[in-house]
Structure 1
Amino acid sequence: MQEAVQTKASRAKKTRSLTSLDWRRTILVTLPFMGALTFWQAYDGLIPLMLKNTFGLGDTATGFFMALDNILALFMLPLTGYLSDKLDTKWGRRTPFIVVGSLIAALLIPMIAIANTWKNLPLFMAVLVLTLLALSTYRAPSVALMPDVTPRPVRSKADAFNSLMAAVGGVFILVAISVLVPAVDNPDYRPVYFVISGMVILTTIIFVVCFNEPKEVAAMHRESAELGIPEEEIDASDEGGKERETNPAIRRSLLCVLVCVFLYFMSQNAISSGFSRYADAVWGMQGGSYAMVQTAATLAALVAYMPMASVACHIGRKRTTYIGLVFMVLGCVLISLSTTFSPVVYLWTILFGIGTATVSLTIYPMIVELASTQTTGRYTGYYYTASMAAQVITPILSGAVMQFVGYAQLYLYGATFAALAIVPVLFVRHGDTLTMGDVRERQANWEAEHTEKGE
């Protein structure tokens, strides 16, 4: 009898090591976000070139149109996040939004390049707006699905892997741009946009066939219980219960994290939406040649996600956020000093890419830590409200800086806002992660308790 108990306990140790991710679940849950991000990677790089070169818009006007997606998202993402919290179907809360939104977007995406080829600005804008609306319907639900199916202690790792998969999609599209977009004045973008549409369809099909949302949510609750996390704390932080939403100290922490999100995206989005024009004006890169520099930054982010997530799990998300913001500032300053392109620029873009990756994998889980079981989608909406508000303002503001002050000032602009983002993090007191030491202690206590009971 004793040997049977020991065998069962040893099997539990092997099957319940919850300091690591359930890789099958994590990969599947990242696919919808990966599909959407293939579009956004091309959006930031190619749409400004279409607006400027095909339709003759200036940098300030181009910045305004680049903010259009964020204006729509400012309202759509909190709304769809809230609605997905309330939805109750046999397919789950988030899956219906993901399936409908992604398939509509996949049908519309190629029409953007077709309208550009026809030089039809009204059609271009109409299709672009409809595509952005379709993508907005499932962006917040797809992101909120990650904490729905991932135990709290490893959410930074899951968010890092989510970002890593998005980076893989981004690298794929950047390579496609560099190969399929020739270095001419008005290239044909249709091949790239058909590839993007195919990626959205493929990732959605795999997700629908292989992922059962209600089953995976139930599995996450079982695993969290095995870690010794009480039911009321499974979806949120140790402060517990609905009191989180009215606790002034926790609300201050939430506000500070959201201010950091805003300032981070003021920096990050200015660089991503302005880089193709910066590379053209400052370094003389034409067509899709700029994409190789961005590929270096994206690859660096891809490599950095999981190691930096492990750092966050050991030293906490707050300290890791400082590291990422400092890397962003240094990368921006060093690039701004490179008035001509040389191979050393790749090193500075890699530094900046590691910085953006690091911050991106810490700030969203910090917000989710403050949510309750029924508010993950709404808090995801708060995150997107802050990020999209920044992305409404920064393309216009950075576009005006480039047009009226000089293209070379783009990276100093980015460095300024990255530095400012450090300030609100100083006042964050809640939302950090359980460290791996805490997790192992809880898991050991759970195993000891259930071994004594002979389970």
Structure 2
Amino acid sequence: MNSARTDRSPRRRFQLRLAMLVALGVFAQESVWNFHDAQTPVTLSEYTTSVALIGLIMGLDNIIGIFVQPLMGYMSDRTRSRWGRRTPFIVIGVPVAALLFVLVPLAPTFPVLIAIIVLFSLTANSFKPLTEALIADNQLPEHRSKANAVGRFASGLTIIVSALLSLFVVDESVELAYVISAVVMVACFAILLVSLRESRTAAYRAVVDEDRELGREGTGFFAVFTDIFADRDRSRLFMIAAVIVTWGAWAAIRALLTLYGVEQLGLSRGEAGGLTLPASVAFLVVIIPVAILSDRYGRRRMMRIGIVVFAVGALIAFVFNTSTVATLSGVLIAAAGFSGFAVNATVMLWNLAPSQRLIGVYTGIFAVAQAVGSSVAPAALGALVDATDWSFLMLFLTGLSLVGLLLTFGVRREYAPSQLAEQEKYVEAERGE
């Protein structure tokens, strides 16, 4: 008995090397998206003075992602090839997206520019969930929060990279800045795919072995969603709703904070824009320790604690809503709290998926919930501010976060029993590595 336990434990360790490799892919794609969000609106402004039109075009990536990401996740779940499940789509998508990205500042006319942006969004959205799915593919469920934290930390660093490109390169040559961003993405993905060799990983071999046992016939695309709504255990449904609400609260504070600083605190535009910096730093500092605690003490517990801390931070900012220092402190606390939710939300959906073979489509479902929350919440809270006053923004955020907290209590389990049973196949497959 003891020897069996000793024999099994090394194979259940956190796969740090794989987490770092996949984080490189997350860094690669998010660095391009961040630069796109920062600089493409300026490129659009050379052709139109309509801020509404610019906002609509820039929002197309969210709309496209809602339809493309779950479908591509599902297609990759069903793919078996000598390259693996996710790799074939990434190998095709990355160079095409990079080429389209380089063409953005070179577009000769406004219609051509719109076409390039739409095609870039379509292509980049097609492999975005697959990169993130690799996080779950290559870790046992008990270690996925740590792996996800490494990925989110890498994602956070891309904000700095985008800012540096904007600061040191854009004014000299905006075309060169787009090229550098695209080359970084291609190089990072090349390192990831060559080093990972997905088809040789334990995760891929376990899936192939399961195919031999159960056959390739799997759950249909629409059946995945039917299963979520029809299941008597509403854990997955409540988790998706919690993502929409809580991620929406975070998106709202990021979208409206600069305006809040100008309108409520009387800051200049530049000073107000700096309010998000301490929050970003706090998020990066605490996210990995929070992930370690989550894997040890439970994800639902850490999510709930995180949302409570978020609400406390927003409430502090509301109570002292004329103080810049109090606002900074409140937002910093809120960001630290949100990390408890951010690092676990995707992982909860991965672990609640009925099979390891559906990780891709569940990554896409998370992306849809995130996009819906990020689109609806800022608009809804903005409407409430219009109806009242800027001084109430932080109170509205507190209320919205508490709704998210209540929804987490509908999540009654952290793992799908069927996926836990698949762990043994993963462990057996690791013996071949």
Q: In which range does the TM-score fall when normalised by the shorter chain?
A: 0.7 to 0.9
Between 85-94 and 326-335, report the one with greater CA deviation. Answer: 326-335
* 2:269 maps to which of 269, 278, 285: 285
* 1:298 maps to which of 280, 297, 303: 280
Pairwise CA distance, 1:53: 9.0
Say which SS state the counterpart of residue 88 (structure 1) adopts.
Answer: coil
Pairwise CA distance, 1:181: 6.4
Pairwise CA distance, 1:63: 4.9
Summarize the alignment of residues 46-57 of structure 1 with structure 2, pairs less than 5 Å apart: 46=39, 55-57=48-50
* 1:270 maps to which of 252, 261, 270: 252
* 1:31 maps to which of 24, 28, 36: 24
Distance 1:173 1:331, change over 3 A: farther
Between 152-161 and 325-334, report the one with greater CA deviation. Answer: 325-334
Q: Which amino acid aligns with 1:40?
A: W
Contact 2:85 2:204 in 1 (8 A): no
Q: 1:212 — aligned with what? A: 197
Distance 1:409 1:424, change over 3 A: same
In the alignment, the residues of structure 2 paired with residue 349 and residue 42 of structure 1 have an alpha-carbon distance, to the nearest angstrom, of 24
Distance 1:220 1:76, change over 3 A: same
Pairwise CA distance, 1:407: 6.5
Pairwise CA distance, 1:363: 1.2
1:428 aligns with 2:411: yes
Q: 1:225 — aligned with what? A: none
Distance 1:396 1:285, change over 3 A: same
Q: Which amino acid aligns with 1:379?
A: Y
Superposed CA deviations along residues 233-284 of structure 1, whole A, max 9, x for unmatched, are xxxxxxxxx9x95896664000000000111222222333455665666632
Distance 1:354 1:283, change over 3 A: same
Distance 1:141 1:219, change over 3 A: closer
Pairwise CA distance, 1:154: 0.6
Between 132-141 and 252-261, report the one with greater CA deviation. Answer: 132-141
Contact 2:16 2:147 in 1 (8 A): no
In the alignment, the residues of structure 1 paired with residue 228 and residue 375 of structure 2 have an alpha-carbon distance, to the nearest angstrom, of 29
In the alignment, the residues of structure 2 paired with residue 206 and residue 291 of structure 1 have an alpha-carbon distance, to the nearest angstrom, of 35
Contact 2:28 2:189 in 1 (8 A): yes
Structure 2 runs not aligned, ≥5 long: 208-212, 215-223, 428-433
Say which SS state the counterpart of residue 55 (structure 1) adopts.
Answer: coil
Q: 2:80 — aligned with what? A: 88
Q: 1:74 — aligned with what? A: 66
TM superposition score normalised by structure 1? 0.74
Pairwise CA distance, 1:57: 2.9
Contact 1:86 1:93 in 2 (8 A): yes
Contact 1:260 1:425 in 2 (8 A): yes
Q: 1:152 — aligned with what? A: 141
Contact 1:262 1:390 in 2 (8 A): yes
Q: 2:92 — aligned with what? A: 100
In the alignment, the residues of structure 2 paired with residue 37 and residue 332 of structure 1 have an alpha-carbon distance, to the nearest angstrom, of 27
Contact 2:62 2:371 in 1 (8 A): yes
In the alignment, the residues of structure 2 paired with residue 290 and residue 196 of structure 1 have an alpha-carbon distance, to the nearest angstrom, of 27
In the alignment, the residues of structure 2 paired with residue 409 and residue 55 of structure 1 have an alpha-carbon distance, to the nearest angstrom, of 34
Q: Which amino acid aligns with 1:294?
A: T
Distance 1:407 1:37, change over 3 A: farther
Distance 1:275 1:107, change over 3 A: farther
1:201 aligns with 2:186: yes
The percentage of aligned residue pairs carrying the same residue is: 23
Superposed CA deviations along residues 86-113 of structure 1, whole A, max 9, x for unmatched, are 1111110001122222222222224434
Distance 1:179 1:412, change over 3 A: farther
Structure of greater relative contact order (alpha carbons < 8 Å, 6+ residues apart): 1
In the alignment, the residues of structure 2 paired with residue 122 and residue 340 of structure 1 have an alpha-carbon distance, to the nearest angstrom, of 45
Distance 1:403 1:52, change over 3 A: farther
In the alignment, the residues of structure 2 paired with residue 72 and residue 42 of structure 1 have an alpha-carbon distance, to the nearest angstrom, of 18
In the alignment, the residues of structure 2 paired with residue 253 and residue 33 of structure 1 have an alpha-carbon distance, to the nearest angstrom, of 28
1:361 aligns with 2:343: yes
Q: 1:17 — aligned with what? A: 10
1:138 aligns with 2:127: yes
Say which SS state the counterpart of residue 369 (structure 1) adopts.
Answer: helix
Pairwise CA distance, 1:336: 5.6
Superposed CA deviations along residues 45-77 of structure 1, whole A, max 9, x for unmatched, are 55566667973334x655544432111111001
Between 328-337 and 100-109, report the one with greater CA deviation. Answer: 328-337
Contact 1:63 1:397 in 2 (8 A): no
TM superposition score normalised by structure 2? 0.78
Contact 1:148 1:217 in 2 (8 A): no
